């Protein structure tokens, strides 16, 4: 048997018996801390208290201690010669008599419906009762204090959460209002060329087109803007960001402030122009519905039937997409050989592209009847799926306009 089930040399088969023995040992240690077992008077008084029910034990450990006290009492009674022994015995008997009288009085009062006071018990019992009442009051005060602190923390958390949520919501409404405003026709950067030269690869130079007038003002506010996503009858009507990693916009908003809602952002390896074959957008699945919280609505085929079209503009061109596949999956380990939709940005061949399409069609929650051919441009919206560990929920659409 495991050592963990042994108390005072006694072994226990069940967890319940073991815990009862631990409780008894704690009581015994407390008694030994208060009572000098080498003093006959203390032992006799303790024995009378135990006989009177002041201490109750639950296990064989307690019974062993009870036997130990009984043997000490018998020993001290035999050794109790002389005036000191007689006085000790007399005091013990007197204490027992007073205790019995008071207990009898207390029982009579209780039976007669009268109130019981501390005076109805002996001094030791009064001290024990007072200590228990004091401990109970102390526990009550601690509980009230902890509950109060918990309530303050809870209310503070919800206040901050809703304050930030409302601030974020108002901020995105303001950003939406900046689309297609009068100042948008101004150049992106005054005094600079409107065309921007960037390097793709080692030798390839690409001349970027102008930012669309609809998004120039927003782009001037934050050069990390890469587009805008909108799905009818959802809260999804947000700017889409992109930076050199996939972590920053997990907890930052458009204004680059810390925000648990994060932002909708494009995978760092995707290119808006000339655009990658598949543009992958990520967003948190917030319980409030913000960010990609409403994307889950596509789990219902009836919702898809009424909202099969998605609007996603890059800052360079406007586009409309038609939903093809809706599926649940999870983030796979690097060494797992399986289709990982979040790594599909470019298909190297038509055969590879068709293989990817077949994989997603098999995972799809329902058949939309929409298919894609090699050369079609795709859009993938990805968020968390709380129904499984490391789960993901994805909606894949192809560009139709």
CATH number reported for the structural domain that contains residue 294 in this entry: 2.40.260.10
- pTM as predicted: 0.57
pLDDT at 299: 96
Going by the DSSP 8-state scheme, the letter that residue 121 receives in this structure is S
Residues 230 and 112 in one domain: no
Q: Which residue has the higher pLDDT, 63 or 164?
A: 63
Q: What is the mean pLDDT of the chain?
A: 82
Domain assignment present for residue 82? The answer is yes
pLDDT at 207: 85
Residues 247 and 372 in one domain: yes
| Cα 340 to Cα 342: distance, rounded to the nearest angstrom | 5
Domain assignment present for residue 173? The answer is no
Residues 117 and 236 in one domain: no
Residues 231 and 103 in one domain: no
- Pick the last residue of a domain from 88, 104, 121: 121
Strand partners, 21: none
Residues 260 and 386 in one domain: yes
User: In whole angstroms, how far apart are CA 56 and each of 25, 63, 107, 323?
Assistant: 12, 10, 19, 72
% of the chain with per-residue pLDDT over 90: 46
pLDDT at 127: 74
- Pick the last residue of a domain from 72, 89, 121: 121
Domain assignment present for residue 197? The answer is no
Maximum alpha-carbon separation in the chain:
116
Residues 98 and 233 in one domain: no
pLDDT at 385: 94
pLDDT at 55: 85
Q: Which residue has the higher pLDDT, 382 or 62?
A: 382
User: Per-residue pLDDT for 88 more than 60?
Assistant: no
User: Per-residue pLDDT for 191 more than 50?
Assistant: no
- Pick the last residue of a domain from 106, 121, 136: 121
pLDDT at 187: 47
| Cα 321 to Cα 364: distance, rounded to the nearest angstrom | 17
pLDDT at 373: 96
Residues 264 and 393 in one domain: yes
User: Per-residue pLDDT for 96 more than 80?
Assistant: no
**Closest by Cα among 333, 361, 175, 193 to 253:** 175
User: Per-residue pLDDT for 297 more than 50?
Assistant: yes
Token representation of residue 79: 């050794």
Strand partners, 357: none
- Find the mean pLDDT for residues 56-64: 86
pLDDT at 57: 86
- Find the mean pLDDT for residues 212-226: 95
Q: Name which of 64-68, 82-86, 237-241, 281-285 the model is least confident about.
A: 82-86
Domain assignment present for residue 168? The answer is no
Domain assignment present for residue 218? The answer is no
The number of distinct structural domains making up the chain is 2
Q: Name which of 133-137, 237-241, 368-372 the model is least confident about.
A: 133-137
**Closest by Cα among 376, 309, 391, 301 to 342:** 391
Residue 251 contacts residue 259 (beta carbons within 8 Å): yes
Parent domain of 34: 3-121
pLDDT at 169: 64
Q: Name which of 56-70, 223-237, 279-293 the model is least confident about.
A: 56-70
pLDDT at 270: 97
pLDDT at 185: 43
pLDDT at 167: 61
Domain assignment present for residue 338? The answer is yes
User: Per-residue pLDDT for 282 more than 60?
Assistant: yes
- When pLDDT is cut at 50, 70 and 90, the band that residue 307 belongs to is very high
% of the chain with per-residue pLDDT over 70: 76
Show Cβ contacts of residue 219 under 8 Å, excluding neighbours closer than 6 positions.
Answer: 188, 211, 225, 315
Token representation of residue 96: 């027992």
Q: Name which of 21-30, 189-198, 313-322 the model is least confident about.
A: 189-198
Residues 366 and 233 in one domain: yes
User: Per-residue pLDDT for 308 more than 70?
Assistant: yes
Residue 364 contacts residue 326 (beta carbons within 8 Å): yes
Domain assignment present for residue 176? The answer is no
For 384, the 3-state DSSP assignment is: strand
Residues 112 and 240 in one domain: no
Domain assignment present for residue 316? The answer is yes
């Amino acid at each position: 048997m495991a050592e963990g089930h042994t108390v005072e040399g006694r072994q226990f088969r069940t967890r319940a018996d073991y815990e009862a023995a631990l409780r008894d040992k704690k009581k015994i240690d407390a008694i030994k801390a208060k009572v000098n077992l080498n003093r006959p008077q203390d032992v006799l008084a303790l024995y009378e208290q135990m006989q009177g029910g002041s201490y109750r034990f639950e296990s064989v450990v307690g019974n062993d201690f009870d036997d130990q006290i009984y043997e000490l009492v018998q020993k001290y009674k035999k050794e109790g010669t002389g005036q000191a022994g007689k006085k000790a015995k007399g005091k013990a008997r007197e204490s027992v008599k007073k205790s019995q009288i008071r207990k009898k009085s207390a029982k009579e009062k209780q039976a007669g419906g009268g109130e019981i006071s501390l005076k109805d018990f002996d001094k030791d019992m009064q001290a024990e009762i007072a200590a228990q009442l004091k401990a109970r009051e102390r526990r009550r005060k601690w509980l009230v204090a902890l509950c109060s602190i918990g309530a303050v923390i809870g209310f503070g958390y919800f206040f901050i959460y809703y304050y930030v949520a409302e601030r974020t919501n108002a901020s995105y409404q303001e950003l939406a209002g900046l689309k297609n405003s009068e100042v948008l026709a101004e150049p992106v950067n005054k005094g600079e060329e409107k065309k921007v030269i960037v390097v793709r690869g080692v030798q390839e130079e690409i001349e970027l087109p102008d930012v669309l007038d609809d998004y120039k003002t927003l782009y001037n506010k934050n050069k990390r803007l890469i587009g805008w996503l909108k799905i009818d009858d959802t809260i999804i009507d947000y700017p889409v960001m992109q930076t050199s990693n996939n972590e920053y916009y997990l907890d930052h908003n458009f204004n680059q402030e810390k925000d648990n809602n994060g932002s909708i952002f494009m995978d760092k390896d995707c290119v808006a122009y000339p655009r990658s074959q598949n543009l992958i957008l990520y967003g948190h699945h917030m319980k409030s519905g913000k960010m990609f919280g409403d994307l889950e609505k596509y789990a219902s085929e009836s919702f898809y039937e009424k909202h099969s079209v998605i609007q996603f503009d890059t800052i360079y061109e406007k586009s409309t997409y038609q939903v093809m596949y809706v599926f649940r999956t999870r983030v796979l380990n690097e060494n797992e050989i399986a289709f990982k939709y979040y790594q599909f940005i470019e298909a190297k061949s038509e055969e590879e592209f068709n293989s990817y399409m077949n994989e997603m069609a098999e995972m799809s929650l329902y058949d939309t009847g929409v298919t894609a051919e090699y050369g079609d441009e795709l859009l993938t919206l990805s968020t968390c799926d709380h129904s499984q560990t490391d789960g993901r929920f994805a909606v894949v659409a192809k560009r139709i306009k």
